[in-house]
A and B are shown apart, each in its own frame.
Chain A
Amino acid sequence: MQFSFTNEQEDFRGILRRFFSARSPSSEVRKLMETEAGFDRETWKKLNQELGLTAVHIPEAYGGQGFGCVELGIVLEEMGRVLLCAPYFSSVVLAATAILNAGTEEQKRKLLPAIAAGDTTATLAFTEDNGLWDASGVAMTATGTKLNGTKSFVVDGHTADLIVVLARQPGTSGDKGLSLFTVRGDAPGLKRTPLKTMDATRKLARLEFKDVEAELLGEAGQAAAPFAKTMTQAVVCLANEMAGGADHLRETSLEYAQMRMQFGRPIAAFQSMKHKQADMLVDVETAKSAAYYAAAAFDDNAADLTAVASLAKACVAEAYLQTAVHAIQVRGGIGFTWDEDTHLWFKRAKSSEVFLGDANYHRELMMQHWAAA
């Protein structure tokens, strides 16, 4: 198991950090989050071409760079640090991974190069109005290749060029009868409505399907396993993204405390503040350890990978939110204003806490694995 990054990985991280801090300052984040799409296609395309980000974990045979989950985790951590507004989690982490896990060789060759090149944006539509994160919540029906039903909480669902959809044969339940399909974003019968999201930097949409003609992805009725594997990787990626956001909040909170003068001294000189900052460091560093371990476990195909992925999500979710709460408290009144940036990360922490399952949900998944062992 890898407990340190290689020099190449550290260099990669350094390049990303410099790029993102120059190209995605909070002024840019604020500008993009006010738009309905949540990103600017041309700006994103240019940034992506310079760094090749959408290709990172897609194998070379499909136009990608063939790196592992550790490298993908680095990309997400650095994106999470700056709240980069781009259809990356949806296209790369969710859609490309689902296609890799479920698609036939021919489908992978057809669909992945355009995502790897950043020309096609995509997403995975799996949750529905019931807000369940596993296959048990899927009610959308696929009669042959005709889809009927509603998907909700779909990341970038209103802008994606290509939508991977999880649906089931009528009359089946649980893991049985599940299939994945691909649908063009402009398919007839598909109605896409952007949702008002508390975290404006991650856009969600509700998708209504009325007799939408779709293309089967992989084998009919066999989607449960590739979907579950996709979720595991997505959870690991989200944990790394969240660790980056938490680390950013911790660092800026420390800078603020060092600079803010009250009672004739920087508030950093007060022991209550020093202890809070020490606790924040403990929270964030353990969260990073869990997120990094989970990414390495994914690349090692560790036997307890699903438990470790859930552990990381549960760990980071609580650390990120706690850090965000502290980050506002450290800043006092100014931290509660719209103009100060902290609330942007606070809201990302809040929505990420729930996205792909909250800490209780993941602790239960973890226990199902370890209690049986």
Chain B
Amino acid sequence: MSEPTEADVRAEVSAWLKANFNPDYGLVEWRLKLVESGWGAPHYPKEWYGRGLPVKFNAVVDEEFAKIGAVTVCRAGIRTLAAATIIDHGTDLHKEKFLRRILTGEDTWCQLFSEPGSGSDMAAATTRAELKGNKWIVNGQKVWTTSAHKADWALLLARTDWDQPKHKGLSYFLLNMRQPGVNAQPLKQMNGHASFNQVFITDAEIEPELQMGKNGEGWKIATTTLMHERRGAGALRTWAMPSTRTGRIYREENAEIATTMEPYKWYPQRAGRVDLLLDRAKATGKINDPVVRQELAKVLVLSKSAEWTAMRARAAQALGRPQGPEGSLGKLLGSHVARAAARVHTMIDGANAMLTGSDGTLDGVIAEVLVSVPATSIAGGTDEIQRNIIAERILQMPKEADPFANKPFRDVPRNTVSKVG
């Protein structure tokens, strides 16, 4: 059978939506219908809630949804990564048990990868899974888990073989978060928010059929999840725009968006709020201070040239050219911009920079910038790791020698696990 054209896809989805969508549906009620039709995830296989269409048609389908304001399947954060990983590596049982409830938004997920003892070196995880009788028994501690306290299920990376080298002794599991052995506690950050959890796991149980892949394949599968995470950041932002339409289904969807986006509400401040600098300098009169003018100009030079570097990368990608070095610098540049912006916000704010909350400038927004920016150069790969990646992958410089590359993990020096905070 030949591949349909864009016009075919557009016509078909449009007709189906017109015949079926109704804003008075309940959110889950509508999504159940949508999932059965395959239009909720058209790039999924036909037997698993999709239509087996090439991924390039997703944008076309989304456009048709947007035209009439039809609500899509749930695309919030970690559950999208769970679905993508299950499609790539899961068994039929995994697909049967989880995919539909992920797409309808009935189940929420979290990701249990990072640990207090393994940050940049994520493969050094020491959470242990042991097969005892007919159950995997899990013990350990995870951290930086977004929305763990609300999650029904988790993607878990745990060590099953301590005699293998670091990367080879890890396995991948789907963990039921609603059980006595799992305890998620909020982790309060230096900016006062608690967007993440630490998760204490004590003799938690996993059915053997909820392991994904074989023993020792955990790192490989986790890499797929992380790849989807990097690709998916843009999609979450698009999805998370609340609708202004009226109707039961929009109320329910907006509530879902609000819950999902709650942990991210300080993220604009984390990036430095360059957009506020000129207005703040004008409002305070500091725009006439020659030193502030220079420092402000430096931030604008940096942020504009960083933005144009990202545009160069996007333009090259659109032309199908091989990715140049400009495509890998964004994360590090983002740190530079955020730090420089925080410095200048402090200069402009003067004594008020000592205040926070309702006493702080712009109802505490500037104070939140100052205490959130340090996260930028850490979260999602530290500046130091970014520099290693640039040096090794782009500049082809020698990789750091790992003296334990082929040694059993049990012999590798590591941190003693202790509670954070």
How far, in angstroms, from A278 to B383 measured CA to CA in the complex?
Answer: 10
Q: Does A271 contact B (CB under 8 A)?
A: yes
Which parts of B380-414 form the interface with A (CB within 8 Å)?
A: 384, 386-388, 390-392, 394-395, 397-398, 400-401
The interface-forming segment of A106-114, A189-197, A286-294, A324-332 is A286-294
Which parts of A245-271 form the interface with B (CB within 8 Å)?
A: 254, 257-258, 265-266, 268-269, 271
Contact of A367 among B296, B326, B386 (CB under 8 A): B296
How far, in angstroms, from A52 to B231 measured CA to CA in the complex?
Answer: 46
Write out the residue numbers on chain B whose beta carbons fall within 8 Å of the beta carbon of A282: 329, 332-333, 336, 390
Q: Does B278 contact A (CB under 8 A)?
A: yes
How far, in angstroms, from A315 to B301 measured CA to CA in the complex?
Answer: 6
The interface-forming segment of B21-29, B315-323, B341-349, B350-358 is B315-323
**Given the contacts A268-B398, A281-B394, A3 and B301 also touching, CB distance less than 8 Å:** no
What mask results when residues 301 to 318 of chain B are scored 1 for a CB within 8 Å of chain A, else 0?
110111011011011100
Contact of B395 among A269, A278, A311, A366 (CB under 8 A): A278
- Tell me what chain A mostly uses at the interface: helix, strand, loop, or mixed: helix
Q: Does B282 contact A (CB under 8 A)?
A: yes
> Is the pair B316, A281 in contact by a Cβ cutoff of 8 Å?
no
Contact of A274 among B306, B312, B392, B401 (CB under 8 A): B392
Q: Does B215 contact A (CB under 8 A)?
A: no
The bracket for how many chain B residues form the interface is 35 or more
Kindly report which residue of chain A lies nearest to residue B295, judged by CB atoms.
A363
> Is the pair B297, A3 in contact by a Cβ cutoff of 8 Å?
no
Min Cβ gap A258→B in Å is 7
Contact of A278 among B282, B293, B309, B391 (CB under 8 A): B391
Kindly report which residue of chain A lies nearest to residue B292, judged by CB atoms.
A367
How far, in angstroms, from A4 to B315 measured CA to CA in the complex?
Answer: 6
Q: Does A105 contact B (CB under 8 A)?
A: no
Q: Does B257 contact A (CB under 8 A)?
A: no
Q: Does A41 contact B (CB under 8 A)?
A: no
> Is the pair A274, B388 in contact by a Cβ cutoff of 8 Å?
yes
How far, in angstroms, from A273 to B400 measured CA to CA in the complex?
Answer: 12
How far, in angstroms, from A237 to B304 measured CA to CA in the complex?
Answer: 19
**Given the contacts A4-B312, A4-B316, A271 and B293 also touching, CB distance less than 8 Å:** no
**Given the contacts A3-B311, A281-B394, A286 and B302 also touching, CB distance less than 8 Å:** yes
Contact of B305 among A266, A274, A315, A360 (CB under 8 A): A315
Write out the residue numbers on chain A whose beta carbons fall within 8 Å of the beta carbon of B392: 274
How far, in angstroms, from A153 to B358 measured CA to CA in the complex?
Answer: 56
How far, in angstroms, from A282 to B398 measured CA to CA in the complex?
Answer: 19
7 contacts between A and B (CB under 8 A): A282-B333, A285-B309, A286-B302, A289-B305, A292-B312, A363-B293, A370-B278
Q: Top 5 A-B pairs ranked by shortest CB distance? A: A274-B391, A363-B297, A3-B315, A4-B315, A278-B387
Known: A265-B398, A367-B293. 12 other contacts (CB 8 A): A3-B308, A269-B398, A269-B401, A274-B391, A274-B392, A277-B397, A278-B395, A293-B304, A293-B308, A314-B297, A315-B301, A371-B287
